[in-house]
Amino acid sequence: MCLALPARVVAINEQTDMATVALGEVKKEISLALVEDVKIDDFVLIHVGYALNKVSPEEAELTLQLFAEAGLTEELQQ
């Protein structure tokens, strides 16, 4: 089974098309090669180091709550 999680963009390096995203206390560098027009504080759906698409803050929050309820993640503070 593959999971894609929403995470908030906290930094963008436009020269490398990479971004740093935060999911709770965890930060990770990901590629933005597959999505356009991403800005700091946007939420993106991430999978294996790539942003797949942008999602609304409401959708991100709901998705993270559902993952937590299913026991797939801990409750995460954004």
Range(s) of the domain holding residue 21:
5-69
Q: How far is CA 38 from CA 1, 27, 71, 74, in A?
A: 27, 17, 30, 26
The verdict on residue 22 lying in a domain is yes
Q: Catalogue the E-assigned strands of the chain.
A: 5-13, 18-23, 26-31, 43-47, 50-55
Beta bridge partners of 18: 13, 31
Strand 18-23 to strand 50-55: parallel, antiparallel, or no bridges (unpaired)? Answer: unpaired
Q: How many CA atoms lie within 13 A of 65 on its CB side?
A: 6
In a domain, 59, yes or no: yes
Number of domains in the chain: 1
For 36-75, the pLDDT digits (tens) are 999 999 999 999 999 999 999 999 999 989 888 888 776 5
Q: For residue 27, is it within any domain?
A: yes
Position 21 scores a pLDDT of 98
Instruction: Decide if 74 is inside a domain.
Output: no
- Looking at the domain assignment, is residue 76 inside a domain? no
Predicted TM-score of the model (pTM): 0.85
46: how many CB neighbours lie within 10 A of its CB? 22
CATH number at residue 58: 2.30.30.140
